[in-house]
């Protein structure tokens, strides 16, 4: 199993949502660094390494298992997906960047899906607590935003966010589990179905943008 060094993936953004994402990413990165050094960290160890309080860690991760799973998933997939997106940048073609992102995620899925299932079990059952921070998926959203970067200036803000949300429904553990458990598709068909859906969403967003001009 190849362990890849996690790197920063967030695009520049402001506001509370951006700050929450950066804080969460810093906590996960600190946990990943400790894991790579051979340490099985405690919440206190992670808080110290991330320069945040234990309370802040628990705001994002109600238990240590969830945090360590998230950090391990990042180690397995982070760099590979980042590099695939950037390598596919053919004259700012967002469709090619999204395609490369999906292929890279599928390439790592044999190692990451079992951990993803465990992470879903830990987060889906959590009662609603009124927090406005997502329970999971910040890494996925950042990858999608990175892949769609060429469209940020082409689409208005609402259309861009809608496309990010739409792709979030077809790229990730939940969608992959549906394709496996509900549709019983073979791996090749899972990939082709995901690519077809993602391309259709990007094409629709671009077509709507053209009509709106």
DSSP 5-33: -----PPP--HHHHHHHHHHHHHHHHHHH
Any domain includes 107: yes
Any domain includes 143: yes
Residue showing tokens 């469709």: 95
23-50 pLDDT, tens digit each: 988 999 999 999 888 888 999 999 999 9
Determine the structural domain holding residue 144 and report its residue range. Answer: 16-212
Return d(Cα 102, Cα 80) in angstroms, integer: 11
User: pLDDT confidence of 133, banded at 50, 70, 90?
Assistant: low
Average pLDDT over residues 53-58: 94
Q: Are 98 and 199 in contact (CB under 8 A)?
A: yes
pTM: 0.78
Percent of the chain exceeding pLDDT 70 equals: 88
Number of domains making up the chain: 1
Any domain includes 3: no
190-212 pLDDT, tens digit each: 999 999 999 999 999 999 988 77
Q: Are 30 and 37 in contact (CB under 8 A)?
A: no
Helices 43-50 and 64-87, packing angle to 10 deg = 40
Any domain includes 1: no
103-114 pLDDT, tens digit each: 999 999 988 888
178 burial (CB, 10 Å; 0-12 / 13-18 / 19+) is middle
pLDDT number for residue 5: 36
């Amino acid at each position: 199993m190849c362990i890849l060094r996690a790197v920063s993936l967030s695009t520049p953004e402001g506001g509370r949502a951006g700050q929450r994402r950066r804080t969460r990413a810093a906590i996960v990165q600190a946990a990943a660094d400790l894991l790579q050094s051979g340490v099985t960290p405690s919440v206190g160890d992670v808080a110290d390494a991330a320069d945040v309080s234990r309370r802040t860690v628990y705001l994002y991760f109600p238990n240590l298992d969830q945090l360590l799973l998230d950090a391990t998933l990042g180690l397995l997939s982070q760099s590979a997906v980042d590099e695939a997106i950037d390598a596919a940048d053919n004259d700012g073609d967002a469709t090619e960047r999204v395609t490369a992102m999906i292929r890279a995620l599928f390439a790592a899925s044999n190692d990451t899906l079992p951990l993803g299932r465990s992470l879903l079990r830990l987060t889906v059952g959590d009662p609603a607590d009124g927090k406005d921070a997502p329970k999971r998926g910040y890494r996925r959203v950042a990858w999608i935003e990175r892949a769609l970067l060429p469209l940020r200036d082409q689409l208005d803000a609402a259309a861009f966010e809608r496309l990010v949300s739409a792709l979030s429904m077809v790229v990730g553990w939940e969608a992959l589990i549906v394709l496996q458990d509900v549709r019983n598709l073979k791996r090749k068909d899972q990939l082709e179905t995901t690519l077809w859906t993602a391309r259709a969403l990007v094409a629709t967003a671009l077509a709507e943008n053209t009509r709106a001009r």
